[in-house]
A and B are shown apart, each in its own frame.
Chain A
């Protein structure tokens, strides 16, 4: 199933414009914010270009030229106005970018989560949980950060460079050329270095995710490590990982430590050149002193935007992988889609039309159903089965015989490769999955509870159930007593995944959860394997009543659970090899007989030797 899963590697050097166009398509929702943001960034860039001009004016007019102090107030006023605008614009652009970032992340997460709710088990079988988690949390987060904040940097950087160039050319084109000469060199170095830095960064991220994985395993597997005394070997494995991490990261740090001085060195170089050549002009009087100062300031203000743009380019290249992965998740095709007609009357999974959810009766038919999890290994081939409503069906067979597959298909967790499954004579495909599931009560061998109270967990079966109904359901499956014995009774927190309870307790609660759902079809997949015999017996009696007019499928190893079924199906290699009641099958002296006698052969010997007193009772049990 999942052994062939490989994380897609999207690392390419080319910027995939098509992909980014798609991402920005999602951003169009915030068009107004975006336009406002672009406007803000251009304003701030203009102010950045304007300040050195203001300084030049001050230098030339007031200081050198001993200009009149009357105009100083006007000058000061203008300057102050620019400052006010700057302050406001800074606030607004951070606010707007933050808004876009958070809204985009929120929207993508919701989209992805809703998509996950629609996907079938086929997807979850082959996609590791950690992979999905990473997409949902860090990838979306990073993508949102990049699309919002990088946009700011890009607009700002381009506007500043453009504005500075224009002003410089207008004032003195020779000096402008002198500064711009360094720009291509700087651009090449920046792009090269940013790439190298991000490459390193990428490899550290890879190791980082291994570390996260190791932490995750170290924590979930801690109990096992403890019992097997693996602590020290786990720790030493982990240490290798962190060592690799620090080595790689230090390399990345060194790389950027080299890069920044080079960029700034180039800046200093052009400032020096300006001072040399410009200074000579000032000496001979062909250039004003303020202009010289303007150029030294502009020389600096050119390099930061350029560096930012180089960084952005590299960042977009790197985030491409995140973008691709997020889009893959959001656009995953559900392999289990309802037809248009079905959607019309039942709605979709997330927008159901529950008024169309009528109760089902429970007749089940499998007609020539074939199914394989992996193409080359078919589990069911042309499987046929007909069950009348209200019957209790027990499925018996070895692990991997296909019993779970049969109920999985019935629950429409998977879609058969061929053939038709009908409920009440109507193919499953003509009704919605949501409708089917709302009629199901399903109890698993490894029951999963959600963190929260016992009561919330039982209520999961029927959200509008009252506290009394919940208690009633718990009593029915004999869980009430143990629940009351918990520290806070029904309000006890069961912990993550129900961790704070034993498997048996979890099974009982998940049983109550199914009971309260009042389903038409019960599916018990090894539901009582960890429940003690006595409790099981109590449950058995209770659910016999409960199942009287419901169809029930029971998968169990413990034969005591299945003897009272209306029909027992023995499944081997995807085929029904025996079919009948407990009595009928024993008479056949076939596989069931062997399975059954094997399980109890030791019992049998002893019983025969000690002729137990419960003989009469047992005979009674088999009369009906």
Chain B
């Protein structure tokens, strides 16, 4: 219970954080709501005055009304010129309505600026989260949080805060007035208030859970669609259309049933609360008639009771809805906090030494945070500036993990890695990544033109530099063959590129930075051997002192390296040049043998 309370406070703090800069406006808005309430409640009193004092000619008892009628020239004058009464009503309404305008406008401003701030910080947070987070995250679910959950919170802030204040203050002020008019009937008039309030609250508790599960079901539903669409080739190739349709139907049905239950519950709530509210009004009407017949209540006072009853009941009933919306909002805030609370990696923390390319691995151990197995075990080797290192090894032997460590996408647990003598863990991540270019195994291209994609990391690059990089990556010719050349759109909304084309564009955008260290995480696998060799040649020409890591399965690629590191089950199994390793008994020699057979056959 206590923990829950703490959570709620944390969630309210969350709202305040993103309201920064608008708190004053918010306070003024609340003031406007209060004045608005006062004016709305004035209308029935005005009516009562017109009915009782003007039309029915009862003596005025309310001192405020005496003053008010004197402003308009006295009751008799008003009676003779009833349009003055009409004018009074219009005046009060004009005032009320202009306040309402302000309320709408400020509600809009506050909520939209709130949403803007929240979206920005979500996006920034996502960008700053570590690689491991994105490796595991569910895209569909994250997008839903960033869009529909933000929207739920925004909508609440847009209307419900001032709505809630309105409901509460209307109730209080109206009750004061009613008790002043005739206390016994006022007591009768509020019988239903606690009932409806408790009912609304119980309902709100119930709703929260169902809303959450319906929301989750919607998430699963869109995830299922997304997965089906991105795996459409597999679905078709395995003739699994029926299976997929059944799987989807199941999710679709779950979502439908859950949401239908939600709506049905809403129906019960609205039906029952309508019943309670209207019954309360009926009770007031009946007792009011009774009191009026006894002469205790004037017609105008009866009118006030009926009008105020409506003005109290509907907002109080609304409190139920607001509470249920608040439930939704709290769930959404919880989901957003899950994202925002997960730790980011400090990108600009650490030293920024000159990075040249001398690298020493010294008894490095690494395992993933949620993993049990050591991915890298006791890895030691050193690299000199300008060298090319080929990393070979079976699938899962830790090659990718090893190069990921170099750019601090992950941090090792034991041992040390030094760059020109500086411990890697102390170097600023941004600095490091600017100086170490890595081409990922499955590169992602943004929905921009090819030109823009290539110069992403170096926005100042001119056309010549972009083309130069594309040429070095052996993709210039391919690009020119597109209708729009470098202006061709790629990514989600653009042309579909082959794996090899994507890899080469990714290589171009990485080498445009001219970083002293370059890593290819098996990023030449989808290009043919000829192109592979051409790219490596071009890189050599482009800059002499480049330190390069290449993860590869090709002996030809390994052969050209200054040093070959063979990994097996996370450890360095063999190390040396091609010549040395070919002569050694071991994995490398076996690979060479397998790949080399044909050459012997040809030579013979």
Q: Contact at A3–B495, with CB atoms within 8 Å?
A: yes
Q: Does A495 contact B (CB under 8 A)?
A: yes
Instruction: Report A46-84 CB contacts with B as 1/0, cut-off 8 Å.
Output: 000000000100110011101001001000100110011
A residues in contact with B444, CB < 8 Å: 220-221, 223-224
Q: Is the CB of A95 within 8 A of B237?
A: no
Binds A, one of B2-10, B167-175, B224-232: B224-232
Contact A3 B489 (CB under 8 A): yes
Interface: A602 (CB within 8 A):
yes
Neighbouring B residues of A330 by C-beta, 8 Å: none
Contact between chains at A128 and B292 (CB < 8 Å): no
C-beta contact mask, B524-566 vs A, less than 8 Å → 1, else 0? 0111111001000000000000000000011110011000000
Query: Contacts of B293 on A, CB cut-off 8 Å?
Result: 62-63, 66, 69
User: A88 contacts the other chain (Cβ, under 8 Å)?
Assistant: yes
Q: B235 at interface (Cβ–Cβ under 8 A)?
A: yes
B552 to chain A, nearest CB (A): 10
Residues of A within 8 Å of B392, CB to CB, are 532
A75 to B529 alpha-carbon distance, docked (Å)? 94
Neighbouring B residues of A76 by C-beta, 8 Å = 282, 286
> Are A537 and B529 within 8 A (Cβ)?
no
* B136 and A500 contacting across the interface, CB-CB below 8 Å: yes
Interface residues of A in 15-54 (CB under 8 A from B): none
A608 within 8 A of B: yes
Give the nearest-CB partner of A376 in chain B. Answer: B483
Give the contact stretch, choosing among B23-31, B91-99, B326-334.
B91-99
B394 within 8 A of A: yes
Query: With contacts A257-B104, A502-B400 known, is A275 near B274, CB below 8 A?
Result: no
A246 at the interface (CB under 8 A from B): yes
Beta-carbon contact of A124 and B232 below 8 Å:
yes
**Nearest CB of chain A from residue B53's CB, rounded to whole Å:** 12
Q: When chains A and B are docked, how far (Å) is the Cα of A175 from the Cα of B265?
A: 42
Contact (Cβ within 8 A) B489 A268: no
A339 within 8 A of B: no
Is the CB of A378 closer than 8 A to any CB of chain B?
no
**What's the Cα separation between A232 and B281 when bound, in Å?**
60
Tell whether A87 is near chain B: CB-to-CB under 8 Å: yes
By the criterion CB–CB under 8 Å, are B147 and A215 in contact? yes
In contact, A499 and B275 (Cβ under 8 angstroms): no
Q: Output the least CB separation between A245 and chain B (Å).
A: 7
**CB of B184 within 8 A of chain A?**
no
CB–CB B105/A102 < 8 A: no
Q: Tell me which of A211, A220, A279, A610 contacts B85 (CB under 8 A).
A: A279
Residues of the B chain whose Cβ atoms lie less than 8 Å from the Cβ of A114: 245
Cross-chain contact A253 with B108 (CB below 8 angstroms): yes
Cβ A137 vs Cβ B222 within 8 A: yes
**A139 at the A/B interface (Cβ < 8 Å)?**
no
Whether A225 lies near B100 (C-beta < 8 A) is no
Asked if A242 and B116 sit within 8 Å, CB to CB, the answer is yes
Residues of chain A contacted by B79 (CB below 8 angstroms): 283
Query: Taking the complex as formed, is B438 at the interface, i.e. its CB lies under 8 A from any CB of chain A?
Result: yes
Residue from the list A80, A227, A449 in contact with B407, Cβ < 8 A: A227
- In the complex, which residue of chain A has the Cβ closest to the Cβ of B81? A276
Instruction: Give B401 Cβ to nearest chain A Cβ, in Å.
Output: 9
Is B242 touching A352 in the complex (CB atoms < 8 A)? yes
Interchain CA distance A499-B227 in the complex, whole Å? 12
Roughly how many angstroms separate A110 CA and B248 CA in the complex, as a whole number?
Answer: 8
Among B128, B271, B299, B602, the residue within 8 A (CB) of A231 is B128
Nearest CB of chain A from residue B130's CB, rounded to whole Å:
8
Closest to B261 in A: A98
Which of the segments B194-202, B378-386, B591-599 contacts the partner chain? Answer: B591-599
Say whether A485 contacts B124, CB under 8 Å. Answer: no
Q: Which of A76-135 contact B (CB under 8 A)?
A: 76, 79-80, 83-84, 86-95, 97-99, 101-103, 105-106, 109-110, 113-114, 116-118, 121, 124-125, 128-130, 132-133
Task: Let me know if A110 and B249 touch, CB within 8 A.
Answer: yes
Answer whether residue B61 sits at the interface, using C-beta atoms and an 8 A cutoff. no
A618 and B119 contact, CB distance less than 8 A = no
Contact at B591–A533, with CB atoms within 8 Å? yes
Whether B109 pairs with A448 at a CB distance below 8 angstroms is: no
A242 close to B299 (CB less than 8 A): no
Docked pose: A80 CA to B285 CA in angstroms? 11
The answer to whether B104 and A245 have CB atoms under 8 Å apart is no
Task: Judge if A238 is at the interface, Cβ distance under 8 Å.
Answer: yes
B94 to chain A, nearest CB (A): 7
Which one of B223, B484, B600 contacts A618 once the chains associate, using CB atoms below 8 Å?
A: B600
| Cα of A98 to Cα of B393 in the assembled complex, Å | 58
Q: What is the minimal beta-carbon distance from B460 to any residue of chain A, in angstroms?
A: 12
> Quick check: B282 and A80 within 8 Å, CB to CB?
yes
B65 within 8 A of A: no
Q: Is the CB of A612 within 8 A of B289?
A: no
Interface pair A582/B598, CB less than 8 Å apart? yes
A583 to chain B, nearest CB (A): 8
Which positions 476-521 of chain B face chain A at CB distance < 8 Å? 478, 483-484, 488-489, 491-496, 498-501, 506, 509-510, 513
Are the C-beta atoms of B285 and A79 separated by less than 8 Å? yes
Nearest-Cβ distance from residue B410 to partner chain A, whole angstroms: 11
Provide the bound-state CA to CA distance between A557 and B533, in Å: 13
Contacts of B131 in A (CB 8 A): 223, 226
A400 to B527, CA, bound (A): 12
A622 CA / B587 CA spacing, docked (Å): 23
B180 at the interface (CB under 8 A from A): no
A128/B104 in contact, CB under 8 A: no
Q: B210 to chain A: closest CB distance in Å?
A: 13
- In the complex, the answer to whether A87 meets B271 with C-beta atoms within 8 Å is yes
**CA separation between A585 and B525, bound complex, in Å?**
24
Closest Cβ neighbor of A452 among chain B residues: B227
Residues of A within 8 A of B489 (CB): 3
Closest to A7 in B: B493
User: Closest residue to A293 on the B side, CB-wise?
Assistant: B303
- Report B-chain residues with C-beta under 8 Å of the C-beta of A62: 289, 292-293
Alpha-carbon distance A447/B97, docked complex (angstroms): 62
B142 in contact (CB, < 8 A)? yes
Measured CB to CB, the closest approach of chain B to A214, in angstroms, equals: 7
Nearest CB of A to B218, in Å: 8
Q: Which residues of A lie under 8 Å from residue B128 when comparing CB positions?
A: 231
**A135 CB to nearest chain B CB (Å):** 10
- The answer to whether B146 and A269 touch across the interface, beta carbons within 8 angstroms, is no
Residues of B within 8 A of A222 (CB): 126-127, 129, 134
Let me know if A504 and B396 touch, CB within 8 A: yes
Besides A63-B289, A513-B238, A529-B525, 15 new A-B residue pairs in contact (Cβ under 8 A), listed by A number? A79-B282, A110-B249, A137-B222, A216-B139, A226-B409, A230-B457, A246-B115, A276-B85, A503-B441, A532-B392, A600-B596, A610-B579, A614-B593, A621-B597, A622-B601
22 pairs across A/B with beta carbons < 8 Å?
A89-B271, A91-B272, A92-B267, A102-B257, A113-B252, A117-B244, A215-B122, A250-B113, A253-B107, A351-B242, A352-B242, A411-B237, A437-B239, A482-B395, A500-B135, A500-B136, A526-B499, A532-B392, A537-B594, A603-B559, A614-B593, A617-B597
> What 8 A-B pairs come out closest when comparing CB atoms?
A253-B108, A257-B104, A98-B263, A91-B271, A94-B267, A87-B275, A618-B600, A437-B239
